[in-house]
Structure 1
Amino acid sequence: MTARTEEVGPSGLASALVASGALQSDWLPTYKAVPRDMFVPDRIWPGIADGTRQNPVVDRVKEPEAWLKAVYSDIPLTTQWDDGSHSGDGLGKTPSSSSSQPHMVFSMLADLHVQDGHKVLEIGTGTGWNSALLAHRLGPENVVSIEFDPEVAKGARETQRNAGLSPLVIVGDGRLGYSGGAPYDRVIATCSIGQVPRAWIDQTLTGGLIVAPWGPLYGGEAIVRLTVDGGTASGPFTRSSAFMRLRQQRPDLPAHSAYLKAQEWPADGDRGTTTLSPNEVGGWTAQFAIGLQMSGAFWSVERYDDGTYTLWTYSTDTLSWASADYEPGADSFDVVQSGPRRLWDETEAAYLWWEGQGRPGFDRFGLTVDGDGERPWLDSPDHPVPAVG
């Protein structure tokens, strides 16, 4: 859900966030005391961005009104591309740091359910706004934030110091947490993960909470709210999300050329048809549900000028692939599958399971993490999500 801002500035955004339920009364004084504009650099790329689309850069010096409007709109602001190697106004390949959408910021802080005296570990300092909000609410001495990029950390420290709020900002690998400040009552990540790092659980007190964006390799993502109980952690997903991946967990996926082995399509693939449209498996929730069941698989889309496209699905071991051809208005779609895994059959089985459960949303799913790994579940830990393949 995205709040609509009636006027440019902190008050307009606050009104919209309060109306949407994201900004709750206990966080409102902190919102007013720690304005977002203090934590946004001069050059930003407003809105959702990835390697195929990017809104134009907005420069505060050249366009102060447009910059302020973007800052106090309920949208994410990309502040760095390609781990800092991109410095121009053109299209970057990978967004690598940002100021998160305010609706998401305060929704996650509400999920964190902090109380006076709590000690919080944040993974992903970014611009420093989120940890500054926590420092204002709990006291800087109770907040530790970890940032992998030294330049990003340096900028956040300076901005926080100028705001009169200086939580401890550590440069390091966020997967390792920070044992020097442990144990923590709360852990919050502002970058997405595919596996919950063991250190986060070990450094959290029993009864403490971990709030993080989590998503399977296949696609889809949601905020998980885990309660720690000794060496285990379990809890529900609370809402959809779309964050940049923790740098050390970014997948290094094989190229398309690794699969057909220089052969012309359909190569050695087996032909077939399906009545399940490739369009149906592309929704964010559908991807999430499929990904929970279908490990070690990912996809890409090859689009054509006539509005048709091919949905390619691959196994990470490069041994299996599948193609499904989409044509608008068609009742059946051509499929080719190759390798020991029948990847389209797996996709179809996973989708039909989700459909058979009533197409549950993110908030019906949950996750349990223990010494045996991670187990997603539906409605209750007693009902694990089945694996296909």
Structure 2
Amino acid sequence: MAAGLAVLAAPGVLRAQGGTIKLGFTAALTGPFNEFGEGIRRGAEIAVEECNKAGGIRGRMAELAEVLDDQLVPDRAVQNLRRILDNKEIVGLMCPSGSGPTLAIADMAQADGRPFINPQAQTPAIVYPNGVDKPPRPNLFSISIGNLAESEKLGLALAGFSRIGVVHESTGYGVTGADLVRKAILARKPGARVTLESYNQRAQDMTAQLVRVQRAGAEAMLVIGLGADFAVIRRNMSRLNMNLALFGAAGAVTVPYIEGAGDLVAGTRAVNHAAFGRRPMHAEAQKFVDLYRAKHGTDRWYGPDAANPLVSLAGTVGSGYDCINLLLDAIRRSGGTSPAEMIAALDQTKDFAGATIPAVSFTPQNHVALKVEDLGTYEMLKRGDRVVLELRD
């Protein structure tokens, strides 16, 4: 794991303090979207275990002191965070899984002042509430696949089509993502026709939206939403005999999509972290993959193929792993656990080797690590009884 730009205190020195280094978060650990929250929890646990196996930080062990379940419900995330923030021993936190819960807690997190790192939520307003040309929230950092970078990558992938349907969930993530993708497509192909259709999370039928996309003569369709909903859409498409190029945003192509749509997933293309699709993987990605497989085997997060982990492992488990490691690295470099010390260290992070992003860097003006070049376009293929994702670009 690479160190940051500058050592803010004497190397390896953590000023005399007692007890463990306590960290916390709320996430969707159960419920229909638990692949996200349970995933980041698993990654966080591996990061803490590795830190403690190495002797902790100046002899102090790390601990996940508060890990609460919000089921991706914003109100529950707010209630959980209030409880977590009441624990003044907690020095660093991860944001919840998902844009809705994270937007709901962002102002509270900023007012509290302790450092937060966002593993998954994509809406730009989480980090930049006043616009991306204005300063970020001072204590909120992000390693997630943000809407801005994702829309640029999707715009490139869809630029070869003249008529495109964008079917998106009605959340902040979906609405913002659809608007940004539309702008990215039109910037590259001004004459393109982009049809936008929204749906509510967990809807059991999207036929009406798909018929409108079909009537618009779409040659390609993009789904911006979560995997379980994407599976419903794909099954609806099959019943309507819709045969067009199908794309998914990072939140769509996950284990619930594969489980829910079965063989129908073949041919779907998606944008996701490039790190796990490149061969050889960069060193930190390979290290993380080996750690996860040793602890959990080839489970539903990893996938059935030991040699080729599912790319979605990066955006769930890998993101949780990187978030906790970034918080611990800030403590290691700063020599302290106060908000001011940790935030100053995070602001000086330079080329930190993460599992999901090969070189994470932050500055006081830039609190978003992921860049367009960190993303890849994958195609889902069926090989025997397995679904694999192959990196196309």
Same fold (TM over 0.5): no
Larger radius of gyration: 1
Q: Which structure: greater strand fraction?
A: 1
Q: Which has the bigger relative contact order, CA under 8 A and spacing at least 6?
A: 2
- Compute the TM-score of the two structures, normalised by the length of structure 1: 0.30
Structure having the larger proportion of residues in helix: 2
